[in-house]
Amino acid sequence: MRICVFCGSNDGRNGSYRESAHDFGTLLAERGIGLVYGGASIGLMGAVADAAIAAGGEVIGVIPKALADVEVAHATLGDLRVVGSMHERKALMASLSDAFVAMPGGIGTLEELFEVWTWAQLGVHNKPCAILNVDGFFDKLVDFLNMVRDENFLRSMHRNMLIVERQGEALLSAFEAYDPPKTAKWITKDGV
């Protein structure tokens, strides 16, 4: 099994973000779960990869050529794949992965999460999508998503597809129990 982790190329202000990225990378390796990530050596991306490598885990980095210098491509990865565009990056990361996790990060992290979650909603894949909500980083986003559901722009079953956990162990347990919704039609005349 491989899990794709979307996260920041910066550390953020709260030291617990980097610590959690390190802990999650270690946890994946200890569980024999491969890591697929954005290929950078800096920020939370670097922390999750370095920890997984140090714990003996499989790590695959995927980075567009244009970002290899900006995000400082991870030079010591055994498997660093340089691609031509962000679209290629996301498609390759998705094809290599069995599940997706967003950790603290910026708009790129959110865009990556929302794309794979949308694909799950549309039935493009049946892979679980999750947020590792370190120190409540995503609390306001989760509140917003619940409001979107309450306003009938998102069906409850699709909102529930996005797993939200504060601890890595709980997140992995939720992945093991994940059962994607089974529906032939994802939207009805009334929108829900």
Where in the chain are the domains?
2-174
| CATH classification code of 2-174 | 3.40.50.450
Q: What is the mean pLDDT of the chain?
A: 93
Phi, then psi, of 107 in degrees rounded to 5:
-70, -30
**DSSP single-letter state for residue 31:** T
Considering the entire predicted model, what is its pTM? 0.93
The pLDDT tens digits for 22-64 are: 999 999 999 999 999 999 999 999 999 999 999 999 999 999 9
Q: Give the C-alpha distances (Å, rounded to integers) separating 93 from 34, 44, 134, 140.
A: 12, 17, 23, 27
Give the pLDDT score at 57: 97
